[in-house]
Copies of this chain bind each other. A is one copy, B any other.
Amino acid sequence: MAVSRSPLNPIIHPKDIKSTQPDFEVICAINAGVARFENNVILLLRIVERPINHDRNIYLAPIFNPESGGVILKSFNRSNPVNDFTDPRIITTPEERYLTALSHLRIARSQDGIHFQVEETPALFPKMPYETYGIEDPRISEINGSYYIQYVGVSSLGIVTALARTDDFRTYERMGIIFPPDNKDVAIFPEKIHGKYYALHRPSTSAFGKPEIWLAESPDLLCWGNHQHLVGQRISGWENGRIGASAVPFLTDRGWVEIYHGANKANRYCLGALLLDADQPWHVLARSAAPVLEPETEYERIGFFPNVVFSCGALYEDGKVKIYYGAADTCIAYAEIPIEQVFDGLSG
A binding-site residues for B, Cβ under 8 Å: 97, 129-130, 133, 154-160, 176-183, 201, 203-209, 212, 214, 216-220, 222-229
Contact = CB atoms under 8 A, between A and B. Distances in A.
Q: Is the interface of A mostly helix, strand, loop or mixed?
A: strand
A182 B209 contact: yes
A205 B159 contact: yes
A155 B208 contact: yes
Nearest to A232: B157
8 contacts: A130-B229, A154-B208, A157-B208, A158-B203, A158-B205, A180-B183, A223-B223, A224-B224
Query: How often does this chain occur in the complex, in copies?
Result: 2
Contacts of A208: 97, 133, 154-159, 181-182
A-B interface, 9 closest residue pairs, ranked by CB to CB distance from nearest? A158-B209, A223-B225, A223-B223, A158-B205, A177-B227, A180-B227, A222-B225, A204-B206, A176-B226
Contacts of A160: 227
Contact of A223 (B203, B212, B224): B224
B207 A176 contact: no
Interface centre among A182, A217, A228 (most CB of B within 10 A): A182
A223 B219 contact: yes
Given A182-B209, A205-B182, A208-B156, A176 B227 contact: yes
B226 A205 contact: no
Contact of A206 (B130, B206, B218, B222): B206
Contacts of A154: 208
Contacts of A218: 223, 225
A180 to B, nearest CB: 4
A226 B178 CA distance: 6
Contact of A157 (B130, B157, B209): B209
Given A176-B227, A223-B225, A182 B206 contact: yes
A219 B223 CA distance: 8
A20 B217 CA distance: 36
Contacts of A97: 207-208
Contacts of A214: 180
Given A223-B217, A224-B224, A226-B223, A207 B204 contact: yes
Nearest to A214: B180
B225 A176 contact: yes
Interface centre among A177, A179, A224, A227 (most CB of B within 10 A): A227
